[in-house]
Amino acid sequence: MGEEIFEKIYQARSAEAQREIYDTWSETYDADVKAQGYATPARMAAALAGVMERYDAPILDFGCGTGLSGAALAGVGFTVIDGVDISEGMMASAGARGVYRDLRVIPVGEPFSVAPGTYGAIAAVGVIGSGAAPLSVLDDLAACLASGGYLTFSFNDHTLEDPAYEAWVRGEVDAGRMGLRHRDYDAHLTGLDMKSAVYILEKS
Ligand SMILES: C[S@@+](CC[C@H](N)C(=O)[O-])C[C@H]1O[C@@H](n2cnc3c(N)ncnc32)[C@H](O)[C@@H]1O
């Protein structure tokens, strides 16, 4: 598929519409994003490796898709990675990467929950934003962390145009619920001249 798939996904307005598009896109997703120079997973993984002391702490790759983000985490040395996603099609090829301990399809539109402390870090790379999963998902993920756990996620340029997303980060930090451990703004999809901000928040 060409560049039109990116427009289609950025304009999807519901989780169900997202899931359908990703299910259809799954077979060519890796080739399509690689052709556009998809850089955010490697940036997130390098940043997380810089703040986490234990590389054997379990990490949840939320919205793992075909596993590019899990592969990036494994590539910097993390050894226990689980993946969840709403799109069965996207996850079909994730297992073959051999980097996940467990992979699970989760229901569309239901709040995600695991016991706090199950994961030392939760990553949502390319998952939250305009035409993607809503901010409430970050609240759900933050609730799954114990004190000292990390939440890492990215907002692309489309998402950053809406001030609500960065306001959510400021709100969490200002309220003392999270500490900002990392933010950088750099390449996302170089072929589309798009950048993203990568964040790491630590639960207070
Ligand atoms: C751009 S892809 C990113 C996949 C992978 N993290 C990567 O970096 O290649 C976005 C993924 O988020 C998933 N997704 C979208 N909304 C979601 C939600 N509410 N809960 C879980 N996964 C979701 C999609 O199915 C898709 O696989």
Query: Going residue by residue through the chain (204 aa), what tens digit of pLDDT does each one get?
Result: 567 777 776 776 678 888 889 999 999 999 999 999 999 999 999 999 999 999 999 999 999 999 999 999 999 999 999 999 999 999 999 999 999 999 999 999 899 999 999 999 999 999 999 878 999 999 999 999 999 999 999 999 999 999 999 999 999 999 999 999 999 999 999 999 999 999 999 999
Pick the closest to residue 121 from 31, 199, 16 (CA basis): 199
From the options 3.40.109.10, 3.40.50.720, 3.40.50.2300, 3.40.50.150, give the CATH code of 4-203.
3.40.50.150
* CA 61 remoteness from chain centre: 7
Q: Is there a contact between 172 and 162 (Cβ–Cβ < 8 Å)?
A: no
Q: Is there a contact between 164 and 182 (Cβ–Cβ < 8 Å)?
A: no
pTM: 0.96
Distance 64 CA to ligand 1 centre (A): 6
Domain ranges of the chain: 4-203
- For residue 99, report the phi and psi dihedrals to the nearest 5 degrees: -110, -10
Q: Is there a contact between 157 and 187 (Cβ–Cβ < 8 Å)?
A: no
Around ligand 1, the residues with Cβ closer than 6 Å are 15, 18-19, 22, 41, 63-65, 68-69, 85-87, 90, 106, 125-127, 132-133, 137
The residue contributing the CA closest to ligand 1 atom 16 is: 133
